[in-house]
A and B are shown apart, each in its own frame.
Chain A
């Protein structure tokens, strides 16, 4: 099974599944995972305001979804049969109000809507697959829906797991930009002026080909490292030789950014740190980098420890 982690949600899917669509942020959004053939998983969520005293009703959310499905089907001249059903047992947790459903149209879907009192998110998750035939998705859907977690057990950290990248980022940091290319992944998180980025390159042996790691990264990194001047030290990470970079913002544009931060009454991010290593077992290069304020905590070391490289292969 493969673990997918996105915006505080984690789920277990068959090995062939990967993230194929996303939008929104931690408060409200959507993401889709599929196996590029028939099986797909969709999760939509929205956060209830802290001011509202009444708990939202997942059945009402489900009915709204049924109405939108019917509307969509009418447009496409398809017929859709919607049905309330019991939610799989593993989705029923003490902190959740749960409502199950299925629908059959051009596909068959099994879904669950729930409201979580801990993270205050209303979530609608569904697994879609072929309408009939031997490859019925009932059991798979139940396993996937049952594995969905909407908040981490450790409230300080969130799991981010896509493609071959699996890491954890402090919960106070929000995803602000991402680059998900075929052999290069970058996730950048921010909290005020502080930034934290995770970069991963595949085909390390072909891309780097014996070049010094710091020089290679200086030419190829796209995160905070481009904005920094630093000194390089040798270290070790997860059993691999690694480099640790420490410094501050580079002259020129990054300095202008500091002025902007100060003018916005933000504490400017003036400390840079990063760690990079090549994992030969997974043939990947990793770079975890952060720009933080003078008093801000340096999360880079913790994120490095929580990033899996060869251990998950």
Chain B
């Protein structure tokens, strides 16, 4: 019990969402990140170029001063990643997003689901997106709701 309490306090145990919950969740982009599609290769479709602002808290400012960090960090997504990013609009559930990728790149459902969820997880770990629970869906873990609320209200976004 004590171990569990410590784990919860230290953030060691992450809330687990079922496959159904994940598929119904709607990913949305971190509003602090600005982005645009740009053409890098004439033979390839335009890709998403993200501008990620640096941390603006005391520690971030100090580090920026010491290391002369730029205000923004640039990140280029690949072709499929750009499509996924564009669909992270807070309206499209992961299931529809997966279906769109399936249709566009002619992948089977399982292939697309594995790739898209892994990619979304990576984006969420970098605080570039967060997931809203699906409509009419009850999350089983109170921490999920708590995290979701804090993600929506602050500049740092977390995933369920």
Contacts and interface: CB of A to CB of B under 8 A. Distances in A.
Contacts of A36: 19, 110, 113
For the side of the interface on A, what is the size category? 10 to 19
B106 A313 contact: yes
B105 A182 contact: no
Main secondary structure, interface of B, reads helix
B108 A206 contact: no
B110 A210 contact: no
B114 interface: yes
B122 interface: no
Interface residues of B, number: 16
A163 B78 CA distance: 25
A138 to B, nearest CB: 23
A225 B146 CA distance: 54
Contacts of B75: none
Contacts of A164: 108, 111
Interface string B91-113: 00000000000000111111101
Interface in A15-30: 16, 18
A37 interface: yes
Nearest to B115: A182
A281 to B, nearest CB: 8
Contact of A202 (B78, B105, B109, B113): B105
Contacts of A78: none
13 contacts: A37-B19, A163-B108, A163-B111, A183-B111, A202-B111, A203-B107, A206-B79, A206-B80, A206-B105, A210-B43, A281-B106, A283-B105, A283-B107
Interface of B: 19, 43-44, 78-80, 105-111, 113-115
